[in-house]
Structure 1
Amino acid sequence: MNTAIKVLLLALPLTFATGLAQANNSAEGRWRQIDPDTGRAKSIVEIRRTSNGTLNGRIVELLNPSRPNPVCDKCEDDRKNQPITGMEIIRGMRADGAGKWKGGKILKPDEGKVYNSKMALIEGGRKLEVSGCIAFICKTQVWERL
């Protein structure tokens, strides 16, 4: 076999593995939101990087909603009475070191409340620890990467 072809064949798996490692260092992508009280999946959230470098996330699918086509009737901001599917629930997360973000806000649509938020990749980027906080009291969920 030609030497150039051998080098290419050896380099492809390394390139692929490096790409996966880089993807797992980012919170960008789709996540299954797990309810910590029931252990059941509630929704699929897609997190994307904005033009200013922050991360935002929106619900792309509700899993087993309590009512058809629910809206955020308890919200008090621009999301009031808007459909929860498609709703941006994470806003303004800024990088805080490798695999960590802070300084953003997260909305809990069923309460209509907005909390200070932070996120951290865990388990090699396969899971995302998402916290909503008031003062020093935080509630944390662990989401699974899809």
Structure 2
Amino acid sequence: MGKKLISALFLSTVSSFAFAIDITGMWQSIDDKTGAPKALVEIRKEANGTYTGKIVKLTPRIGYTPKEKCIDCPAPYTDKPIVGLDVVTGLKYSEGLNYTNGRILDPNTGKIYSMRAKLNANGKRLHLRGYLGVSALGRNQIWIRAD
């Protein structure tokens, strides 16, 4: 193979890997119990290098009307509108496709969990693990890239 082709393949591989580790953008959160879409979350990268996820839209479901405010949530989330709420905070890129040391708020219960996440190889699904204390005591969610 020629040098130009090898260079093109290398750059293609590097650029696709760079995309794969970037979790910024819009994500459809999926309820881990029902499998139904819950909310549209925008993940952004902060100046300190961590990632934050804000709810930008709630997804109504048959038989369920989403809460408008975070009633049972601790300060500073108490009685704040759920749309516009930063529910993922402090998530840090670790290595490969992994992110760690984050926190995730469940606005329906008011509970805050430690979290980690892993992006799949094509960058279209984000596997989240929220837990209290140890990771074995937690819940999984899969978010689907929406943009």
Smaller-chain TM-score range? 0.7 to 0.9
Give the TM-score, by structure 2 length.
Answer: 0.82
Q: Name 2:128's counterpart in structure 1.
A: 130
Summarize the alignment of residues 84-123 of structure 1 with structure 2, pairs less than 5 Å apart: 84-123=82-121
**Superposition CA RMSD, Å:** 2.2
- Secondary structure of the 1:22 match is helix
Q: What is the CA–CA distance in structure 1 between the aligned matches of 2:45 and 2:90, rounded to whole Å?
A: 10
Work out whether residues 69 and 82 of structure 2, in 8 Å CA contact, stay in contact via their aligned partners in 1.
yes
Give the TM-score, by structure 1 length.
Answer: 0.83
Q: Name 1:73's counterpart in structure 2.
A: 71
Q: What is the CA–CA distance in structure 2 between the aligned matches of 1:39 and 1:67, rounded to whole Å?
A: 16
Per the TM alignment, residue 69 of structure 1 is displaced from its structure 2 partner at its CA by 6.4
Q: What is the CA–CA distance in structure 2 between the aligned matches of 1:128 and 1:112, rounded to whole Å?
A: 22
Q: What is the CA–CA distance in structure 1 between the aligned matches of 2:99 and 2:82, rounded to whole Å?
A: 24
Higher share of residues assigned helix:
1
- 1:59 is matched by which residue type in structure 2? I
Q: Name 1:145's counterpart in structure 2.
A: 145
Work out whether residues 27 and 99 of structure 1, in 8 Å CA contact, stay in contact via their aligned partners in 2.
no
Name structure 2 gaps, 5 residues minimum.
Answer: none
Q: Deviations over 1:83-110 (max 9, x none)?
A: 0001000000111102211111100000
- Secondary structure of the 2:55 match is strand
Percent identity over paired residues: 30
Q: In the superposition, relative to structure 1, how do residues 69 and 138 fare at CA in structure 2: closer, same or farther (>3 Å)? A: closer
